[in-house]
Structure 1
Amino acid sequence: MPDKREPHHSHDKGYKQLFSSKRAFLELLKTFVHEEWTKDIDEDSLVRVEKSYILQDFSEKEADIVYRLKTKGNDVIFYVLLELQSTVDYLMPFRLLLYMVEIWRDIYNNTPEGERERKGFRLPAVVPAVLYNGANNWTAALHFKEILAGYRQFEEHVLDFRYILFDVNRYDVEELYQVANLVASIFALDQKMDAGELIRRLRKLAGGLKNLGRDEFRQFATWLSHVFKARLPEPVQEKVDRIIGEVNPWEVEKMITNLEITLEEMQQQAEMRGLIKGRAEGRAEGEARGKVEATQDAICKYLKRRFGDASAGLQQKVREMTSLEVLDSVMEELFAANTLEEAGDIIREGINKSLQ
């Protein structure tokens, strides 16, 4: 059945793409599930279940990722169900139960009647798991029985299971640095932080990212582009896509530097716009002249920070412009200038407009 659902959170699509890879899913289990059965799993034992399990009572939601696996040395086949969450869902234990029942119902209905009625017929184990990347603590019950009223009185008789919780924001970042595989790196970058901290973490992860295979790195780059753009304003998102989309594993430090430059330019632009607004609005006397001087000061400061002492001649030319309309236009166009030469062309064009 095709997936017609829109992701209920922007990260869902990225994580679904990531864990559609058997290697990444296996890495998730082996890195973050410290149980004996994970030691016996390899890629050959994993099969992605290409089937949607849509629940009647939760028609807008469906199980995100289901893998079928057979452990080495025995005939036990069980399913690992991974549900992606960005907010706390207090009905999660109940919803997971419904998914588990749907899996069992599907297996039962597709097993020949003679086989399923044998004494030795067994339904496979289903191991439910939740990947949560929300900022708040996960406060939903981890055991199914905890959502049953009065379960303590009948504890020996009521249904129960405990799902695995991958709580992205609660992992210690230093431990994630030490692991430094694909999934750990993504978890380290998906924790709640601003774009500046994201760059700092990228630098710490650079060594491990260079060691990723080409396919793994493309998975990482796709995910990074998605999450990085979510922290940035729309005007610079296309540039971020270009920076990340063109890089190879051995050029990861170049990518980080280019992303850092983009952030610095964005910050400079914001500061300059704020400076223009603040200075222009702060002049009660000589208002028109005050706005012109404020805009000249802001442009010169931007040129100094962006291009250094080499921009001194251009700064002098900016002082020759007295039209506030032209100065505002020059300021906006300068943000797109990548070189001193491009900035010079913009300023000279501004001077020509001033003389007209």
Structure 2
Amino acid sequence: MDDLDLSSQPNDAYFKQVFSDPQRAALFFQSHLDAGLVALIDWSSLKLEPGSFIKQTLQQTHSDLLFTARLGEREVKLYLLFEHQTTVDAEMPLRVLGYMLEIMQANHKRHGLPLPPVLAFVLHQGPERWKVSPCFEDLFELSDAQAAALLPYLPKFRHALLDLTQLDPDRDEDHAQLRVVLQLMKLARQKRLAEFLVWIAAEMQRQGWSVPEPLLLLSYLYAMHTDTTIDEEQIAHSLEQHPHLKENIMSLAERLIARGEARGEARGELRGKVRLLEQLLGKPAMLDDTLRALSLEDLQQRFTALEQEYKARFKQG
């Protein structure tokens, strides 16, 4: 967990850290997929696949994880897409179709036929209620007669969906780990993280409460990075049932904050250099919002490309 960077994209980092654990991901799928499908999958075989299918332009609002599991004598792919933008994506079934095709094409290139089934699951953090149909065929506007004639020739599928705005984790989740994760993600989007600290303190007192300390530590850190108004007193009060966690949380938080500040300074310096090179080269300036959204690595690449172009022009001059 020392390598976890919550400073720039805490939602993405928390999602990936939590659900990259196959056992926790299996719990999630088992809790939110149809019972008949759950019974067909060998969950002990679930494993995380490398890589992402999200385009760079969407990485600020979408994250994804791909898993493989046994389905009888075959494999099934489970694609978990985390959607945390501020508005509901009306094109989600179309976007999901693109991801599913990429997954199947990559698998076909490696293994040929038959193709593995790909099950897509969208986890929506909000803040708006999800009002878009998860069915791909609903993207078309067809009369009944047109649908009857055309739909047999068109892709037909639906993605699974968990809309956190419509879930009460305290009531609807039986497993303690999922209850903590989903309650935190929901309250984080609603900017009610002080309530999460009160809630989790009460949860710790429940008989039979059992959440691994690394998950508790990660969850507190996510809360701290998502809501900077949370102070040490609130956290300490919440940790009365686990006082030994306090030192770990505070020390790790200090390291993460220091790392975030260092990365922030480096990004600010690189943005200035990029702006200067754009002016010297007479290039149209990148939009401020676009430039600020670039990661440290993307900024470095942008700066390096501009610097090489400048040096080449200087030599020619």
TM-score in terms of structure 2 length: 0.62
**What residue identity is the alignment partner of 2:104?**
W
Could you say what secondary structure the match of 1:65 adopts?
strand
Could you say what secondary structure the match of 1:142 adopts?
coil
Cα offset for 1:205? 1.9
Q: Does 1:220 align with 2:220?
A: no
Q: Does 1:147 align with 2:110?
A: no
Aligned counterpart for 2:242 among listed residues 251, 262, 286: 251
Distance 2:8 2:120 in 1: 20
Answer whether contact 1:14 1:226 (CA < 8 A) is retained.
yes
Change (3 A) 1:242 1:252: closer
Cα offset for 1:229? 3.7
Change (3 A) 1:186 1:201: same
Answer whether contact 2:193 2:223 (CA < 8 A) is retained.
no
Distance 1:163 1:9 in 2: 25
Structure 1 stretches lacking a partner, 5+ long: 1-5, 260-356
Aligned counterpart for 2:162 among listed residues 163, 166, 173: 166
Cross-structure match for 1:204? 202
Aligned counterpart for 1:232 among listed residues 228, 238, 252: 228
Cα offset for 1:60? 4.3
Deviations 1:148-207 (A, max 9, x none): 24275223332111111111221124424x614201222123323524422332133214
Answer whether contact 2:184 2:219 (CA < 8 A) is retained.
no
Change (3 A) 1:175 1:233: closer
Q: Does 1:156 align with 2:173?
A: no
With 62-71 and 13-22 compared, the bigger mean Cα shift is at 62-71
Q: What does residue range 19-168 of structure 1 map to in structure 2 within 5 Å? A: 19-55=19-55, 60-61=58-59, 64-71=64-71, 74-87=72-85, 88-111=88-111, 116=112, 121-150=113-142, 152=144, 153=146, 154-168=150-164
Aligned counterpart for 2:177 among listed residues 175, 182, 185: 182
Distance 2:12 2:153 in 1: 37
Change (3 A) 1:241 1:225: farther
**What residue identity is the alignment partner of 1:179?**
D
Answer whether contact 1:67 1:81 (CA < 8 A) is retained.
yes
Distance 1:22 1:29 in 2: 10
Answer whether contact 2:84 2:124 (CA < 8 A) is retained.
yes
**What residue identity is the alignment partner of 2:184?**
L
Could you say what secondary structure the match of 2:157 adopts?
coil
With 179-188 and 91-100 compared, the bigger mean Cα shift is at 179-188
Answer whether contact 1:206 1:253 (CA < 8 A) is retained.
no
Answer whether contact 2:93 2:134 (CA < 8 A) is retained.
yes
Change (3 A) 1:225 1:210: farther
Distance 2:197 2:63 in 1: 33
TM-score in terms of structure 1 length: 0.56
Change (3 A) 1:135 1:171: same
Aligned length: 231
Cα offset for 1:30? 1.4
Distance 1:187 1:173 in 2: 6
Deviations 1:187-241 (A, max 9, x none): 123323524422332133214697436xx3312321232124422338x4xx489
Query: Which has the greater radius of gyration?
Result: 1
Answer whether contact 2:77 2:119 (CA < 8 A) is retained.
yes
Distance 1:96 1:125 in 2: 14
Structural RMSD (CA): 3.5
User: Identity percentage over the alignment?
Assistant: 17
Cα offset for 1:65? 0.2
Change (3 A) 1:109 1:103: same
